[in-house]
Amino acid sequence: MTRFAAPISEQIWNMKYRFRNGDAGDASVEDSWRRIARALAVAEAEPALWEERFYHALEDFKFLPAGRITAGAGTARKVTLFNCFVMGTVPDDMGGIFDGLREAALTMQQGGGIGYDFSTIRPKGAEVKGVSADASGPLSFMDVWDAMCRTIMSAGSRRGAMMATMRCDHPDIEAFIAAKSDPARLRMFNLSVLITDAFMEAVKADGPWDLQFGGKVYHTVQARDLWNRIMQATYDYAEPGVIFIDRINAANNLAYCETIAATNPCGEQPLPPYGACLLGSINLARLVAEPFAAGARVDEAALDDLVRVAVRMMDNVVDVSGFPLPAQAAEAQAKRRIGLGVTGLADALLMVGLRYGSDAAVQQTEAWLHAIARAAYLASVDLAREKGAFPLFDRDAYLASGTMQTMDADVRAAVAEHGIRNALLTSIAPTGTISLYAGNVSSGIEPVFAYSYTRKVLQKDGSRTEEEVIDYAVQMWRDRMGDAPLPEHFVNAQTLPPEDHVKMQAAAQKWVDSSISKTINCPEDISFEAFKNVYLQAWDLGCKGCTTYRPNAVTGSVLSVSETTDKAPGETRGDVPATGGEVVYMSEPLDRPKELEGATYKLKWPDSNHAIYVTVNDIVLGGHRRPFEVFINSKNMEHYAWTVALTRMISAVFRRGGDVSFVVEELKAVFDPRGGAWMQGKYVPSILAAIGGVLEQHMVQIGFLAGEGMGLKEDPHAQVAGQDSPRKSPACPACGQYDMRMIEGCMTCASCGHSKCA
């Protein structure tokens, strides 16, 4: 018997979370749970006792630590178990800026997503004293960060994710707002504008707004005009997001000892300089008793117990995890911040008979999140009695914070008497991959995206098998009710009005002390005025930020999923039709034949004393030749480490199959801040870009690519099956399939779970 509810869940575990180390690795998911439980119990005085309690919490996917913990705990790998970092304040000088760049690289190298506030860098054109030059502005340095991020594979498996913020009164804010209109620029960044209370007041009053830096006013604009620019950019290409920064700082439990100016990549963790936070989610879908029956409910006793154990586990992560930088370790130890959230909320609502976004669902969501907050805070108080409060705890200042003033009286009394172990405790994080691993439960507090889709899996022998990937609650309905049509309260992201998204976010935010990763899906034909009203609704209802997604020409549309709606209610959803959801995905790497054909190319970089030799070997599948592995050799030992790493990573991608042409695109986009070189009449921005050019040349010669700068010529193993219309969604950079969806503020692949923000 397998613990996995769906084949895709086991495949996700096998690819992303299973620890492979011979006989000492994870033979089963039970081994993974045991590994995590044992690693986190080390921090306890009675580790054997707590290992069993931790294991029980993990069992059957009830508590889902975030991917860094699930993949890294107990493996002895040099990766951080923390998900979220905001880096130190960027100083307004060249040396400090590049010191910050180095710190960012070290953090992403260990698997952390990072946030930066670029408001501290002087605007473009400002005087740089002592060098007789004008400043290039924060966006020029963001380009450097973006290039650095492209070259780093975080934790050996994915690129780092970054968030850039800028204050709404910075003189370069208009350029920041427009940056993503170029689809090739700042691709490694999510962007958000820090919106102040004063700005929102000026918007509503249609008043003037000064853009200033260092006490000098550079421009004055109309606040409403600037707001409309933000809205138009988001309407056209989904960025920037909006962060209500004054609201965040006013509510922060730690307002007495920190100021927040940035968030992690998905926005659910506002953090101070060098702030760090770890994430985990309660799977509400696993806690519903008597699903779909008249007495369906979340088991409150089980929820309370699970939350208390989860808080203890996450608190222990602070002590057992490594950190990329000493400053991050010191910050985490001083405040012991954790981010406990939920996933499977929409599925749980379906199971108890509530329509996502309805008034009843809003009330129930608030009640569940209130129960979780109470249990989490009281558990942290108990930990403070046992192990001590967080070092920077100041009773009177802590209780005076905005969040604590709204907390229940008995919780406030307990904190006043005993202190609290963790300064902040709750957050709603992105759970895209983790949710697939847990049986394809609905992600975070998002609605169900699609009830089902067909996934085509390419096997090693070239044959394909089909799998239907079904939402967890829908599968449970089928198991209990057979072919009975889905009830009317079953709704999904394809049909839900934006206002219902906002209501649900606001209901959850009331009892979340950090913030929420949530995407408000808007129809492509929504009017601009209606779109702007979504953001004003989010402000009026008390949200800390707002992220929308409207299909657009720059980022592409999400994969269309059709739900038949032209029949009478109750007749439309019995077989849950879905179109456009078929994908081809390589389940395991291809085996290497004993002999392969290939070619070797000599590459002479102008500033190097030795040539680089690039060898590309190919495999034939279905009569078509495609790249399979890469080797790079040079006598220059300076290049040895990175060339070995590069070839291993590129070869691993090639062996997964699918559309791997993105490797060429990514390499060719890398530029070296020290300068590139002219080669054969073309400017090549870096040696990595030159290698990308060699790979592209080879792919064109073997007929894999149609030509330089062009896509696939013909590759039946990478096509999207059953999709005759033009592809609307971008290709997944991990598996090459056209199944990317905007979920929780980040494009996420429904086929393999890849997300640059996860």
Which is it for the CA torsion 431, 432, 437, 443, positive or negative?
positive
d(CA 607, CA 687): 10
Pair type for strands 153-154 and 208-213: unpaired
Greatest extent of the chain over all pairs of C-alpha atoms, in Å: 77
Given 51, 258, 268, 696, the catalytic residue: 268
* 102, 87 contact by CB (below 8 A): no
Cis peptide before 240 (omega within 30 of 0): yes
The strand pairing partners of 626, in sequence order, are 619
Length of the chain: 758
Query: What one-character-per-residue DSSP string does 437-474 give?
Result: HTTSPPPTTPPPS-SEEEEEEE-TTS-EEEEEEE-HHH
Given 84, 266, 522, 543, the catalytic residue: 266
* H helix or E strand, kind and range, residue 614: strand 612-621
Indicate if 283 belongs to the active site: no
Region at 319 (left for phi over 0; alpha for psi -120 to 50; beta for the rest): alpha
d(CA 119, CA 140): 13
Tokens of 42: 């080390």
The strand pairing partners of 162, in sequence order, are 114, 189
Indicate if 249 belongs to the active site: no
* 676, 683 contact by CB (below 8 A): yes
Question: Which residues, other chains included, contact 375 with Cβ-Cβ below 8 Å and sequence gap of 6+?
Answer: 303, 304, 307, 308, 311
* 322, 69 contact by CB (below 8 A): no
Indicate if 266 belongs to the active site: yes
Pair type for strands 158-159 and 153-154: antiparallel
Given 83, 249, 252, 264, the catalytic residue: 264
Tokens of 193: 């504008």
d(CA 619, CA 379): 56
Cis peptide before 487 (omega within 30 of 0): no
Residues designated catalytic: 264, 266, 268
